[in-house]
Amino acid sequence: MKELDLGKERIPKLIKKFAIPCVISMIVAALYNIVDQIFIGWSEAGAFGNAATNIVYPFTVISLAFALLIGDGSAALFSLSLGAKDKEKANKSIGNGLILLIFISIVLTVIGLVFSKQILGIFGGNPNEVECYQYAKDYLRIICYGLPFYIIGQGLNASIRNDGSPKYAMVATIVGAISNIILDPIFIFVFKMGVKGAAIATIIGQILTFIISIYYLKKSKQFKVNKESMQLDKSICLKAISLGLASLITQLAIVVIIAVANNLVSKYGYMTMASTGAPYGAVIPLAVIGICMKVFGIVVSIVIGVSLGGMPIIGYNMGAGNTKRVKETVKYILITNLIIGFIAFVIFELFPGFIINMFGSGNGTEYMEFAYYCLRIFLGGIVLTCLIKSISILLQSMGSSLKSTILALARDVIFFVPSIIIIANLSHSVVTMLWSAIIADVLAFITGVILLKQEFKQMDNLTKETIIEDEKLKLGKSLLNNKVVITISREYGSGGHFVGKLLAEKLGINFYDKEIIKLTSKEFGFNKNYIEQNEEQSVKSSIYYTNDDKLFESESRIIEELAKKEPCVIVGRCADYVLRNRKHVIKIFLYSDIESKIKRVVKYYGLDKNKAEKEINKINKQRAKHYNHFTNKNWNSFENYDLAINVDKLGVEETAEMIKNIILSEDKK
């Protein structure tokens, strides 16, 4: 099958190829815990089992967060390196990422087994709720044994996808999920293992995903994992981690939400609500919020899948400097995720009962009542959430890890956590506190729009700089071929020196003013101080060959050599006259009114304001006399020049720009 060109193929076609398998992979990954919760909800454990998995769920999200920190970061660096044609760095980004995944998986497994009691306590586990707590303890212990397989398998998924094999990445995840779906009812109902059976089915699926992912390393397309690529490189590791921070924080933010929400509903669940008078207790809110978060996770998984599908496209084109395609990809992804968010919003608002009944039957009135509130309020800002999550991943793909991290923190930590704590403490109501999610969505969305605009602005500036440099290069080559020389004669204080220097920079050619003094001194042995004091000064008429004549002749020869060798801008020294018989010479005279000249010499040359006019007139008379002596022409007669410009009309910068444009148009002719 022909590989698609990330730099040329139609954006919709590329996104379809990468995003669809990625979305399926993300949904399937999210289903691991949801499938467990659905089957557990229909088992004898019921709401207690669902509450237990909700207590353990944050730790599995933490594990996924670190898997994505390394996996997504390494994959993003891999794509950027490919776009920049740095094959060695691309290989190292994957090899180093694998070593980091192995290390972090071992660390988290040990933490989960050794500190299980503390972990359950942090996420709302209450030993007084004996049945619920025991379920949570059993589930966590078994899940920990599968963490190395889970973390490495999920971490490699992004690298496989960015290597141009999104379907393989999808299959690796789907096989594990299907295995979990098949084995869940067998272990839970047939073997009557309940919550423990669900955990065992989950880790078997994770092992299968791990095996398929590891096998891919032998058949990779654009990277090679070997001893050299796995040799840890500090700069590679730090860059990958910085690029993966947004993924880490996006997942950890979910943990923070669940931890804070679980503890608050446990505290205020038994308090009577002013609106209904119904006490919900702790188990009902814990179970329902757990369900809401996992349904929320499904929608976010789709959005992240679409966004990650654009990562190789964005990363490659950012590395290649093609910002137009980057913007087109971002726009397409945002519109897609906006539609996804709207569909989710309609479902949550119109069909909350259908969703909640998927997770168990025979739910009581209070259970269903709180569930309706939770789905409609807590997830009421889902459209904005989808855009926020999407922008965060897109910023990450563009290499802007700081902005991505800020946005990932904004919605779930900076805005949500303070909001829910304040509202809960003021209202003492588990329903009222649900509105904190919508508040966080609105504020984070505004933040996301601002950050994305800033990124686009920086991108535009980079594009402009690139265009200017390209224009300079093209123009410079053209000028080089013709060896065009621009001579500038100028009144003292008119800003002619600065115009000439800016013009040379804009054209990408050399500038000569005082530089001619150095060249003349080196070539003909004149003392530099003597040249500075005597060039362009008034000369005494004489029938004899004087030092003034010798100096003029020496500088003229330098000017002629420069004109033969390269295109350039030359200021003063009768250069227009010296090169009068040469083709491709543009002769310019710059002047200004006396007030402007006084301001310039006072500001830039430090002359006394009261004496400035006298000094200006003196120097200009010397230049006129010098020019007349060696050319037998009037220095300030415009007929000697191709262009005569009053610098005051446009200013120094715009005068240089205008001359550049004139030269460019003439050069094209």
pLDDT in tens, 262-320: 788 777 765 544 444 456 776 788 778 878 887 888 898 899 889 888 888 887 877 77
Q: Whose structure tokens read 């804070």? A: 260
Q: pLDDT-derived band of residue 244, with 50, 70 and 90 as boundaries? A: confident
Mean pLDDT of 444-472: 76
Report pLDDT for 1: 40
Report pLDDT for 418: 93
Q: Residues of 415-426 as b/e, b for ≥16 C-beta within 10 angstroms?
A: bbbebbeebbee
Task: Delineate the domains of the chain, giving CATH numbers in brackets.
Answer: 11-37+49-263+271-466 (no CATH), 473-668 (3.40.50.300)
DSSP-assigned letters across all residues of 529-590:
HHHHHHTTS-----SS--HHHHHHHHHHHHHHHHHHH--EEEESTTHHHHTTTSSSEEEEEE
Distance of CA 8 to the CA centre of its chain: 21
Report pLDDT for 274: 44
Report pLDDT for 245: 82
Q: Report how far apart, in Å, the C-alpha atoms of 7 and of each of 39, 178, 196 are.
A: 46, 36, 49
Residue 443 pLDDT more than 60? yes
Mean pLDDT of 645-659: 89
The whole-model pTM stands at 0.55
More confident residue, 212 or 467: 212
pLDDT in tens, 570-607: 999 899 999 988 888 999 999 999 988 898 888 888 88
- Which pair of tokens denotes residue 364? 């009581």
More confident residue, 583 or 641: 641
Report pLDDT for 336: 93
Average pLDDT over all residues of the chain: 84
Q: If DSSP codes are grouped into helix, strand and coil, which group holds residue 512? A: strand
Are 119 and 91 within 8 A, CB to CB?
A: no
Q: pLDDT-derived band of residue 473, with 50, 70 and 90 as boundaries? A: low
Residue 537 pLDDT more than 90? no
Mean pLDDT of 71-82: 89
Query: 485-490 and 568-571 as β-strands: parallel, antiparallel, unpaired?
Result: parallel
**d(Cα 459, Cα 461) in Å, to the nearest integer?**
5
Of 126, 119, 162, 160, the C-alpha closest to 48 is: 126
Of 617, 507, 621, 635, the C-alpha closest to 568 is: 507
